[in-house]
Amino acid sequence: MIDICMLGTGGMMPLPGRWLSCALVRCGASLTLLDCGEGTQIPWKSLGWGFRQLGAICLTHMHADHVAGLPGVLFMVAHAGRTEPLQLYGPPGTAYVVEGLLRIAGDLPFPLHVQELQGGERLVLPGGLQGSCAPAQHGIPCLAYRLELPRRPQFQVERAQALGLPVQYWSRLQHGESVEYEGRLITPDQVLGPPRRGISLAFITDTRPTTRLSAFARDVDLLICESMYDDPADLPLARAHAHMLAEEAARLAREASARALLLTHFSPKINDPSSAEKAARRIFRATRAARDGEILTLSYPPAPGEQQERSQSAEPAD
């Protein structure tokens, strides 16, 4: 299971009731932060998830509305007692910007490891999450991120029992380890069912839509995507500043065959994000406009014959 809190949904500048676009992902007891705009620590503090469990920060690009909150967040993590290393990812130029921001963050009681990415790399994220990134189109180096939680095949109890295998060996096989029992080598494929689909989400913001990004977000359970503008008349602005219209985000979700679309990164021009939601839903029905502070939960989908696990979807009710 993955929990996602939309700490902020705004672009360019924070507004009353709308913090800058960032998302906090919780998997198990571990946290990963996607972008870190000005004031990120304030809605995070209200959330009550704590700061010490933060294990990774993934920055899309180096514009202030996505990175200016870093000193405040690092301050809170430090005072929460973290001493374990913290990993920070971002595009080329990240190390230079982070070095400057650290000058006002003070001494940190934990190592901060900064890794610059070109796009195409695989990442190991906290809580068992597997990450990847792809280049976006924003005029400066910018990345989209994909997070996946794999799922082990189901352990087939009846097959283990048919082999006469004692219970104490089951866990090792379930974790992919072969075992020897009574002179026989028992391999995981002898007691495990077929592969099962895991959970996936993509975070795409500050970019024009591209075929590479739709391929990158292929089949995700949730696509969190920018909707800087809601009015088709603003297409020249979107093109000039390398952003998206709500309907362009919807087309990207449709082309990606995403299961749900959550719009975020709204321009200060957008007073009511429901207008963006309505525009996008004409193209991709399973769309919702994110609200500051809302939490979504993604659960493993059921395999054939399994009972449906409860999950909060981004698709609105009729």
Residue 189 is labelled as binding a ligand: no
Question: Rounded to an integer, what is the distance from CA 100 to the centroid of its chain?
Answer: 26
What average pLDDT score do residues 164-174 get?
90
The Cα 67–Cα 60 span in angstroms is: 9
Residue 113 is labelled as binding a ligand: no
The Cα 251–Cα 238 span in angstroms is: 15
pLDDT at residue 163 tops 60: yes
pLDDT at residue 220 tops 80: yes
| pLDDT averaged over every residue in the chain | 93
Q: Are 233 and 247 within 8 A, CB to CB?
A: no
The residues of the chain that CATH labels 3.60.15.10 are 2-153+195-298
Tell which wins on pLDDT, 302 or 130.
Answer: 130
Residue 63 is labelled as binding a ligand: yes
Interacting residues of 234 by C-beta distance below 8 A, sequence separation 6+: 245, 269
pLDDT at residue 140 tops 80: yes
Q: Rounded to whole angstroms, what are the CA distances from 280 to 93, 266, 275, 289, 312?
A: 33, 13, 9, 9, 20
pLDDT at residue 127 tops 80: yes
Percent of the chain surpassing pLDDT 70: 95
Tell which wins on pLDDT, 156 or 261.
Answer: 261
pLDDT in tens, 64-112: 999 999 999 999 999 999 999 999 999 999 999 999 999 998 899 999 9
pLDDT in tens, 47-66: 989 999 999 999 999 999 99
* Helices vs strands, H then E, count in the chain: 10, 16
Interacting residues of 140 by C-beta distance below 8 A, sequence separation 6+: 61, 62, 63, 91, 93
The Cα 233–Cα 195 span in angstroms is: 46
Length of the chain: 318
The Cα 294–Cα 8 span in angstroms is: 9
pLDDT band at 309 (very low <50, low <70, confident <90, very high): very low
What average pLDDT score do residues 188-202 get?
90
What average pLDDT score do residues 217-234 get?
97
Percent of the chain surpassing pLDDT 90: 83
The Cα 168–Cα 180 span in angstroms is: 12
Q: Are 284 and 250 within 8 A, CB to CB?
A: yes
The Cα 34–Cα 120 span in angstroms is: 17
The Cα 112–Cα 109 span in angstroms is: 9
What is the Cα Rg of the chain in Å?
21
What average pLDDT score do residues 203-214 get?
98
Residue 5, strand partner residues: 24, 295
Fold of 2-153+195-298: Metallo-beta-lactamase; Chain A (3.60.15)
Going by C-alpha positions, the residue among 267, 274, 244 that lies closest to residue 14 is: 267
Tell which wins on pLDDT, 153 or 288.
Answer: 288
Residue 138 is labelled as binding a ligand: yes
The reported pLDDT for the residue numbered 217 is 98
pLDDT in tens, 282-305: 999 999 999 999 999 999 887 655
Residue 175 is labelled as binding a ligand: no
Fill in the amino acid letter for 279. A
CB atoms within 10 A of CB 162: 11
The Cα 223–Cα 263 span in angstroms is: 8
- Cα–Cα–Cα angle for 212, 214, 217, rounded to 5 degrees: 110
Give the pTM. Answer: 0.88
Residue 206 is labelled as binding a ligand: yes
Positions marked active-site? 65
The reported pLDDT for the residue numbered 303 is 64
